[in-house]
Chain A
Amino acid sequence: MLRQAGRKYIRVIQGECHVSDDPDVVLTTILGSCVAACIRDPEIGVGGMNHFLLPGDASRISPTSEAERYGAYLMEVLVNGLLRRGASRHRLEAKLFGGASVVKSLSPIGLLNAEFAKRFLATEGIRIVSESLGDERGRRVEYRPVSGHARQLFVEAPAEIVEAPPPSLAASAPGAIELF
């Protein structure tokens, strides 16, 4: 935890979840294809964030796959953490971030993560109050679990590396020294 200007910054990494009712806490994370669900009960001021990436081959993710069980587990850990602190399931509201297609050539895992999160929340009757999903850029997210305020900064992806063909020997500059 980092303390700065009276605030306590807690970083939530992939596979983790953090719940707090401390108004000074700011939950932070950096997302690419992963999704962070930020859920809170506005009436009692308790909230939390998880950060997940469905594992495995995106082409094999289905509503009953092992990957979905993993995602459901991490969502349930967050919801149960809120309920343990006195939150009421019917008051919960969510903000979703992430699910980017950071590397174009990879399978659409970011999209599938985002779809999973939305499907889970719809099934559980948890209202989505805002979302920033998809795109091709990573995100830096800050979430205050008590007020529900969220800030997002897009992180530009590095330029794609274009592999150049190896120079031919005939094209070598005159006088070049060949090293073995």
Chain B
Amino acid sequence: MSIAAQLKVLVVDDTTTSRMLVIDALQEIGFRQITYASDGQKALKHMMTTPAHLVISDYEMPGLDGVGLLQGIRAYQPTRHVPFVMVTGRGDKALIEKARQFGLNNFVTKPFTVASLKAALQAIIKGL
């Protein structure tokens, strides 16, 4: 079984279409264990009870945004080292710098391609 197929991934995005597009791309890359949340608060709650091996999150969401979710995951001991990839709009350099200070592992710029998402994941997951 490939590494991708063994990893549990949590996809977080409040826009249903964008969330579906991330999930479709992940399936194309080879991920099979994918769950999703429609906002940061639900994602954080899910991570407390059922930690994933990888989180891919949108930044702009109502309530708890992507950086807030990242901070929450890093503050909770069992999930503090879970790789976190942010999906952001173009020109969000300041946001990426801020998120890196909170332990962001990598980011993908929208509109992403399967190749750009895969490259971002390969940079943080060995053997993907």
A and B interact: yes
Hey, which bits of chain A sit against chain B, CB under 8 A?
A: 63-64, 66, 68-70, 72-73, 75-77, 79-80, 83-84, 89, 120, 123-124
Contacts of A80 in B (CB 8 A): 60, 89
Q: Number of B residues contacting the other chain (C-beta, 8 Å)?
A: 17
User: Chain B, 1-27, contact with A by CB distance < 8 Å: what is the 0/1 string?
Assistant: 000000000000001111011001100
CA distance A130 to B53 in the complex (A): 44
**Is B89 a contact partner of A69 (Cβ separation < 8 A)?**
no
**Is A73 a contact partner of B89 (Cβ separation < 8 A)?**
yes
Q: Within the complex, what minimum Cβ distance (angstroms) separates B109 from chain A? A: 9
User: Chain B, 52-74, contact with A by CB distance < 8 Å: what is the 0/1 string?
Assistant: 00000000101000000000000
**Is A124 a contact partner of B113 (Cβ separation < 8 A)?**
no
Known contacts being A83-B62, A124-B15, A124-B16, is A72 close to B89, with CB within 8 Å?
no
Instruction: Count CB-based A-B contacts (< 8 Å).
Output: 45
Contacts of B17 in A (CB 8 A): 72, 75-76, 120, 123-124
Most buried by B among A72, A77, A89: A72
Contacts of A83 in B (CB 8 A): 60, 62
Known contacts being A73-B110, A73-B111, A76-B15, is A68 close to B62, with CB within 8 Å?
no
Known contacts being A73-B89, A77-B89, is A66 close to B113, with CB within 8 Å?
yes
Most buried by A among B60, B110, B111, B113: B111
Contacts of A72 in B (CB 8 A): 15, 17-18, 21, 111
- Closest B residue by C-beta to A62: B24
Can you list 8 A-B contacts with CB-CB less than 8 angstroms, sorted by A residue number?
A: A64-B25, A70-B111, A72-B111, A73-B89, A79-B15, A80-B89, A124-B16, A124-B17
Contacts of B21 in A (CB 8 A): 64, 68-69, 72
